[in-house]
Structure 1
Amino acid sequence: MRDVVQLVRNGPSALFFEQSLDSRLISKLLFSILLTGAAQSHAQSPLNQYLDEAMMRNPALSAAGQDVEAERQRLDNLRARYYPSLSLSARISVSEGGRTIDFPAGTLLNPVYQTLNAQAVAMGQPARFPTVQNQSIPLLRPTEQDTRLQLRGPLYEPVLNQQVQAQKEALNAQEAARQQVREELTRDLQVAYWQMAQSQARIDVLKASQKALQENRRVNDALYKSGETTLDAPKRALAELLDVEVQLSDAIKQRKLAQELFNTLRFVTVDSPVELPDETLQDNTLQALTDLLRPSETEARSAPEITRLQRSLAAQTAALGAAQATYKPSLGYLIEGGYQGRDYSTGPNTGFATASVVMNWTLADGGVRNSEASRARAQLNALAARAAQVSRQLLLARSQARENLLVSLNAIPARKAQQDAAQESLRIVTRKRDAGEATQIEFLSSEQAATRARLALSAAVHQARIDHAIWQYHNRDIPELQALQGVAP
């Protein structure tokens, strides 16, 4: 810090700084530099690399992305229905039997023809009219083909308009759901990471205490063998050592579980190594860390849970509009062209072309449309009530997360003061023990207090980081939604 002050005062702008910077301003400047360094160290921690890696590998986030793509394709499908569709249809048929139309041509014409032929013969002329057979015309042709192009499209589709709007909102809701999965994954990764760091710090403290207690046991065993102490001293030393070893085993187990959870979220093997931060719990770094983790309301973002519910409400409103739009008629057009006949030979009178405007209007359906509209209205009211409930729950969770973080931050200086006091007491008792002025019970008690103080400070620091990760997740701009009282039909 002194080097920075000297650089500021002796630089090119020394005169300006000499006149305008007092000791208080310099202190603020140095503190801001320290805080910026802590923030940069926090931003460059290995955790950020693990977060980026998890965002690319996590299957839950990948599945959420595919759900978004599915909703987008469905929206494209609905929008494509506004455009005309062109289709080719071809049919060839072979038939036999079936109904016929009988035309008695011979019965009607042959008597007349016979009379005319008789008159012609009587006049010396040849017979001029043939004998006609009765006709039987089949309704089914023995062979027939029909080939046509059809162009059709909508002119007025009120249901389709509402369906497209509903799908737009459904897509937005699914994107909010993906963002929710991403933020939940970030929170879970951060919590698991700092739980692992907390367990590792606990392991380091307990291992250091274990070494001290092992040496203490060795000394007490030697003193007992030489007759300078009673049997209770080595037994107490052994008991304290075993207790620390049990705590160490529990800390190792907790670290393993946290590492397995963290690697599972990263979607790598559970025993993959994880790099943990190397933090020093000094007064200056603890103060910078406390200021860095302090909750700030200005960083609040919109909650994806609320965004998802709001978009779902809009989608359900459009779905209700689609159900009500079924009472309206729809208009479309159909243009056809092609040719048909007994075979595929072309010629006069084989081609055709038609153009039609088609209206479809359901006048009565036994209450089917009314039931669909009522169901959509009930779903809308249920969704609105659920949104109001989730809004209250998120407000409560944000308040609890903020209070938990504040309590954790306030615990850090208290735990640091306890550790300093315990370390100083242990240092004094150790010197007294070496000089023969302190009993073994006093040393063990001081060692226990120092170990508990170191564990408490480490736990407080990492608990603050865990609570900060939870606070970051819950620090949202949450509107207080109200349940709908009803929807106009």
Structure 2
Amino acid sequence: MRNLLKTFLIAWCVIAPLWLQAQNVLDDYIAFGRKHNLTIVEKSLSLEKAMTNLEMARSMYLPSLTFDATYTTANGGRMIELPVGNLLNPVYQTLNQLTQSQSFPQIENERINFLPRNYYDARFRAGMPILNTDIKHNKRVNEQMVRMREHEVEIYERELVRDIKVAYYNYCSAEDGVKVYENALNLAQEGKRVNERMVDAGNGLHAYVVRANAEIAQAEAKLVEAQQQVSNAKYYFNMLLNREAEEIIQRQTTNASDLGQQSSGLQIDSREELEALGNQINMQETLVKMNKQVFVPKLNAFVDLGSQAENMRFNRNSQYVMIGAQLSMPIFEGGRNKLKIKESQLAVAEGKQQKLRVQQQLETSARIANNDVTSSIKNYQNAKQQLEAAATYQRLIQRGFNEGVNTYIETIDARSQLTNAQLAENLALYKWLIASAKLERETASYILD
């Protein structure tokens, strides 16, 4: 264990500066992806919508001012008979006789229609809630909804950060694989050249040249496959960043990260998933309180300033001011409110159980990710040692072949071992980096600006 730690510390002191440079490039890509990813944009719009709903809920505390105007006219309908002529004409006649004049004319009986004709009513109404517990609870629900939307954005951002890192490492691994196959192809071509020269000198076998051609063809086929993997990795990476598929990916030397992530513990308390579930529980508890206060009276006050008259008259007599209050309180709803309370309480209990289940799942995922990092570190160190041994073996076999000690078959086997060791070391390196990115996601240790 001590030798393992010593080897890692030495390797880290050498590769840390290069790794930090690569991380700067990767961090730039992550920032670009968080800004331009289509799903992030979509979830940001949902967050903005939730914040707008919250502002609407807060505005319910403020007074409202409206303007209403009605115009009605009618003909026919119910009428009332007013016998004012029958009542007043005898009196007027007597007064005229006493005064010897016609100062009091005769009048007709009146018929008044209940429906108004050419009637208008225009008013400004200012309203203000005095007592309404639903407004308070609705504001709290919208506040919790905003937090949930914020957590949804953060959750996807963390998923995106992990996906961008994994895609970047896969691209780098595929590119390094191309270099390995190019090197294997060069070695195979060099082997063919040496064998052809030996055949020309009368010291070689033509079968070795044929075998070299087969080795070259195999290396070329693997090189084409590796280049295709590079293209696919580039397409996926650019898709995550919402860029053109063929856009060039900036590349710097990438090396394994330190063990800081692994030694930081497996704390998952900061996971946005748990915080979002906690907000959901709080929202359901708020609904329970709101349903329990259904019988609390609701009181609103209003002031009307307007004018009403017939034939569109507007004067001091038509103008009016009216002040009023409206009280509303349910008396009986058939037990529906109790059912709503029970429904909300069950939703709270369900949310708590869901949070416990998700917490267990997240803890398990974090432990698995931590174990993957541990095993990937060991695999990388073993692959590095195997690469050093394979490189030494290939040099010795090639030297022996040049001196006539070893056969050409042994050189092919040595080159094959070297190629496989290079691929294994490259794969182990990026598996380590990918495992570290996944552990970073599981512990929510990446700092979101």
The bucket for the TM-score relative to the shorter chain is 0.7 to 0.9
Change (3 A) 1:104 1:418: same
Match of 2:21 in 1: 41
Contact 1:173 1:312 in 2 (8 A): yes
Matches within 5 A, 1:184-333: 184-220=159-195, 232-279=207-254, 289=256, 291=258, 295-297=262-264, 302-333=270-301
Match of 1:60 in 2: 39
**Which amino acid in 2 is paired with 1:66?**
L
Match of 2:70 in 1: 91
The CA RMSD measured in Å over matched residues stands at: 3.0
Deviates more, 1:70-79 or 1:327-336: 327-336
Q: Displacement of 1:211 after TM fit?
A: 1.3
Q: Secondary structure at the match of 1:322?
A: helix
Q: Distance in 2 between matches of 1:128 and 1:42?
A: 111
TM-score by length of 2: 0.88
Deviates more, 1:136-145 or 1:73-82: 136-145
Matches within 5 A, 1:294-373: 295-297=262-264, 302-373=270-341
Contact 2:12 2:258 in 1 (8 A): no
Deviates more, 1:217-226 or 1:333-342: 217-226
Matches within 5 A, 1:152-171: 152-171=127-146
Q: Distance in 2 between matches of 1:116 and 1:450?
A: 138
1:77 maps onto 2:56 in alignment: yes
Q: Displacement of 1:131 after TM fit?
A: 4.3
Aligned pair count? 436
**Which amino acid in 1 is paired with 2:66?**
S
1:423 maps onto 2:391 in alignment: yes
**Which amino acid in 1 is paired with 2:262?**
P
Q: Distance in 1 between matches of 2:12 and 2:392?
A: 31
Deviates more, 1:91-100 or 1:453-462: 91-100
Match of 1:480 in 2: none
1:474 aligns with one of 426, 442, 448: 442
Contact 2:21 2:252 in 1 (8 A): no
Q: Secondary structure at the match of 2:76?
A: coil
Deviates more, 1:364-373 or 1:398-407: 364-373
**Which amino acid in 2 is paired with 1:152?**
G
**Which amino acid in 2 is paired with 1:101?**
I
Show structure 2 runs of 5+ residues with no match. Answer: 1-8
**Which amino acid in 2 is paired with 1:175?**
E
Deviates more, 1:97-106 or 1:65-74: 97-106
Q: Displacement of 1:465 after TM fit?
A: 0.9
Deviates more, 1:68-77 or 1:386-395: 386-395
Contact 2:22 2:252 in 1 (8 A): no
Change (3 A) 1:128 1:208: closer
1:104 maps onto 2:104 in alignment: no
Q: Displacement of 1:130 after TM fit?
A: 4.9
Q: Report percent identity of matched pairs.
A: 21
**Which amino acid in 2 is paired with 1:317?**
E
Change (3 A) 1:126 1:210: closer
TM-score by length of 1: 0.81
Change (3 A) 1:240 1:36: closer
Contact 2:72 2:118 in 1 (8 A): yes
Contact 2:93 2:104 in 1 (8 A): no
Q: Distance in 1 between matches of 2:263 and 2:367?
A: 13
Q: Secondary structure at the match of 1:37?
A: helix
Contact 1:113 1:130 in 2 (8 A): no
Contact 2:261 2:440 in 1 (8 A): no
Q: Displacement of 1:182 after TM fit?
A: 1.2
Change (3 A) 1:299 1:210: same
**Which amino acid in 1 is paired with 2:134?**
V
Match of 2:4 in 1: none
Q: Distance in 2 between matches of 1:355 and 1:396?
A: 65
Show structure 1 runs of 5+ residues with no match. Answer: 1-28, 280-285, 478-489
Contact 1:196 1:258 in 2 (8 A): yes
Q: Displacement of 1:35 after TM fit?
A: 7.3
1:378 aligns with one of 346, 354, 359: 346
Q: Displacement of 1:299 after TM fit?
A: 8.9
**Which amino acid in 2 is paired with 1:429?**
I
Q: Displacement of 1:415 after TM fit?
A: 0.9
Deviates more, 1:129-138 or 1:163-172: 129-138
Q: Displacement of 1:69 after TM fit?
A: 1.3
Contact 1:143 1:343 in 2 (8 A): yes
Q: For residues 268-308 of structure 1, give each alpha carbon's deviation from its aligned partner in whole angstroms, at most 9, with x where no partner exists.
A: 111100012235xxxxxx7xx45356613269571111111
Change (3 A) 1:324 1:254: farther
Deviates more, 1:147-156 or 1:233-242: 233-242
Q: Displacement of 1:72 after TM fit?
A: 1.0
Change (3 A) 1:456 1:31: closer
Q: Displacement of 1:357 after TM fit?
A: 2.1
